Structure 1
Amino acid sequence: MTVKSILSAGMIAVVAFSTAACTSDPYGRPPTTNQTVGVIGGAVAGGLIGSAFGGGAGKAAAIVAGAAIGGLLGGAIGSSLDDAARQRAYTAQYDAVSYGRRTEWRSDSGAYGYIDPGPAYDSPDGYCREYTHTIYVGGRPQRGYGTACQQPDGSWRIVS
C-alpha cells in the first residue's frame, strides 16, 4: 500500500467517524445502528467514488468530498441506497454545485432525488454555494444540507 493510499484511507475514516458522531435524529437521540453503518459505509463508498474524480491535489479534495457526501447520504437514509444510486447521487450533487443549477438523479433501484444549489458567494473559504439534497427512498423524502466551495484547480469541495 502506498503512502498516498494510506493517507486517502485515513481521510475517509476521519470523515466517516466524525460524520457518524454528529448523526442524530431531530430529537437529539443517538443514531441507530443502521444510521451509523450507513454513515460509515456511505463515507467509505463516497470516498472511493470521489477517488475517480480529479487529479493531484484535486483528487484528494474529491476523495474528501465523496466521503462527506457519502456520509451525508448514508446518515440520512441508512443503508437504503445501493452503490449505483450513491454514485448517481454523488455525480448529480457535484454537477449541481459546479454548474449552479438543479440536478436530478434516478437509480435503477427506484431511489431518486434532486439537488438545489443556492447562489454562489465569496467567503473566507473561497467561492462557495449552499445546497439542499433531497433523496426519496420508498417514496419518503430525506433532506441534507451543505456548503461546497470551489478550489483553485476548479474542483468543488464540501466544507459543511
Structure 2
Amino acid sequence: MKVPVLMSCILSIAACASTGDPHRDALRDQETASAILGGIIGGVIGHQFGDGRGQTALTVLGATAGAMIGGGLARDRTIYDGERRAAYLAFESTPSGDAVPWRDPDHRVHGSYTPLRTWRDSRGQYCREYQQLVVIDGRERRAYGTACRQPDGSWRIVAD
C-alpha cells in the first residue's frame, strides 16, 4: 500500500514542474517514469530474497538499483535525442536562415537544422520549411522538409 501512494506523490510532483518547453518536459517525464518503473521492478525482485530485515534491505537495495538503472537508460536515450531537441528549437524560435547544430559524440554523427521560411497553413498552424544536414563519418547528407506546429506545441514533419 505504501509504494502506490509514494509513486502517486512522486508522479504528481513531477507533473507539476513544467519548464515551459513541452519537448523538455516530455523528456523529463520519460526519465521520471523510467526511474519509477525500474524502482518497482527492482524492489519486487529484491523482495524475493532473504527474510526479516535482510528481505527489507534487499527490497530497498533492489528498488534503488532499479530506479538508477531505469532513469539511466532513459537519460542515455535523451542524450541521443539531441537531434530532436535541435529540430524543435529550429522550428520553434530560430530565425529563418540560422542553423541550429547538434552532435552525438558517441556515434560520431552531427548536423544541423536550418529553418528557411515560415507561414500559416489553411488551418492557421505555423509551418516551417527547413533544411537538414547530417554528417556521418565525414559524409554529408542534406534533406529538405516541412514541419507544422501542432495545437499541443509539438512539431510534426508533414513533408520531406
- TM interval, shorter chain, is 0.3 to 0.5
The TM-score, its normalising length taken from structure 2, stands at 0.45
The TM-score, its normalising length taken from structure 1, stands at 0.45
